[in-house]
């Protein structure tokens, strides 16, 4: 038996009773390693831009769930997710075959630290990401609150190959073409995409850019705790290195209960 939104509630096994089924409305394959998809948004779902939710697929009588950052902004009618494809990954090896009309499952109550509530006020908001770690920032940079709170928003993404930057580039051009975002965003937003394993206009890890002055040169100033607030999302190694750089610059880590100068969150991996 396969379960779906058409299954009467009383026929759902106990393991699936706490999840909602959401129909997929679009799927885009960006590279061999990455894809994004949109799905229906439950009417009652509330979240803050930058949060993640537990989403996945039905696996027998249970849901197979992983933490995924919501890439769409809080005002959007649909939910968007950006995912890596891992050959042997229990979830992504199946999720990559999603088609329009298929259903994913989600467990209620998004949470997370890459949110405005976890940062103290500042002038520049700097969003450091690698790979699919850009996903929560796709939400944050389309949130009007971001531009109410900051004069300047700098999104960086470092990827192995040039094609992996397409999602971010498309995101930025989508903002420029949007019906109401250009007025809100103005000229406050900048995207710096770098590659490490394929030649491109901008090369190297952002951690190296921060250490050797290329970041300061590109953005007009080095990291400064007096003006800058930082969100970081990527692999564990990436988080460790960026966190160290923030701490060396005199920044304090923030949380929902004690806002600070920078916040970190691990990007989804399998």
Least Cα distance to 55 among 112, 109, 107, 133 occurs for 107
**Stretch 180-219: interaction string toward ligand A2P, x if CB under 6 A:** ----------------xx-------x-x------------
Q: Which is nearer to ligand A2P, 184 or 249 (CB)?
A: 249
Site residues (CB under 6 A) for ligand A2P, limited to 42-101: none
Stretch that binds ligand A2P, among 7-15, 39-47, 170-178, 237-245 (CB under 6 A): 237-245
Q: Give whichever of 20 and 202 is closer to ligand A2P, judged by the CB atom.
A: 202
Give the x-and-dash track for 111-150 against ligand A2P (CB under 6 A).
Answer: -------------------xx-------------------
Q: Using CB under 6 A, which of 235, 243, 249, 266 touches ligand A2P? A: 235
Q: Which of 44, 37, 43, 14 is nearest to 103 (CA)?
A: 37
The reply on whether position 158 binds ligand A2P by CB under 6 A is yes
Q: In degrees, to the nearest 5, what angle opens at C-alpha 113 toward C-alphas 107 and 114?
A: 100
CB neighbours (10 Å) of residue 104? 24
Least distance to ligand A2P, CB of residue 85, Å: 12
Q: How far apart are CA 140 and CA 104, in angstroms?
A: 23
What is the edge-to-edge ordering of all strands in the sheet holding 228-234? 189-195, 152-159, 124-130, 228-234, 262-266
How far is Cα 73 from Cα 141, in angstroms, rounded to an integer?
8
How far apart CA 92 and CA 269 sit, in angstroms, is 9
Task: List interacting residues with ligand A2P (CB under 6 A).
Answer: 130-131, 158-160, 196-197, 205, 207, 235, 237-238, 241
């Amino acid at each position: 038996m396969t379960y779906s939104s058409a299954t009467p509630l009383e026929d759902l096994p106990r393991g699936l009773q706490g999840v909602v089924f959401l129909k997929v409305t679009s799927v885009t394959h960006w590279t061999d390693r990455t894809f994004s998809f949109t799905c229906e948004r439950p009417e009652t779902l509330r979240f803050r831009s930058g949060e993640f939710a537990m989403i996945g697929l039905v696996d027998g009588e249970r849901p197979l769930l992983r933490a995924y950052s919501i890439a769409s902004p809080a005002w959007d009618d649909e939910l968007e997710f950006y995912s890596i494809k891992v050959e042997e990954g229990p979830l992504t090896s199946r999720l990559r075959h999603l088609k329009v009309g298929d259903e994913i499952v989600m467990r209620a109550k998004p949470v997370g630290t890459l949110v405005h509530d976890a940062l103290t006020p500042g002038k520049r908001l700097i969003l450091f990401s690698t790979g699919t770690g850009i996903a929560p920032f796709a939400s944050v940079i389309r949130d009007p609150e971001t531009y109410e709170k900051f004069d300047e928003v700098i999104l960086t993404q470092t990827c192995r190959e040039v094609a992996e930057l397409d999602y971010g580039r498309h995101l930025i051009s989508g903002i420029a073409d949007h019906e109401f975002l250009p007025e809100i965003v103005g000229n406050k937003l900048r995207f710096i995409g770098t590659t490490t394993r394929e030649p491109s206009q901008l090369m190297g890890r952002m951690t190296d850019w921060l250490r050797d002055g290329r970041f300061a040169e590109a953005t007009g100033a080095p990291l400064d705790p007096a003006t800058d607030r930082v969100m970081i999302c990527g692999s564990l190694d990436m988080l460790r290195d960026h966190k160290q750089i923030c701490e060396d610059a005199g920044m304090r880590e923030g949380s929902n209960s004690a806002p600070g100068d920078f916040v970190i969150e691990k990007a989804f991996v399998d």
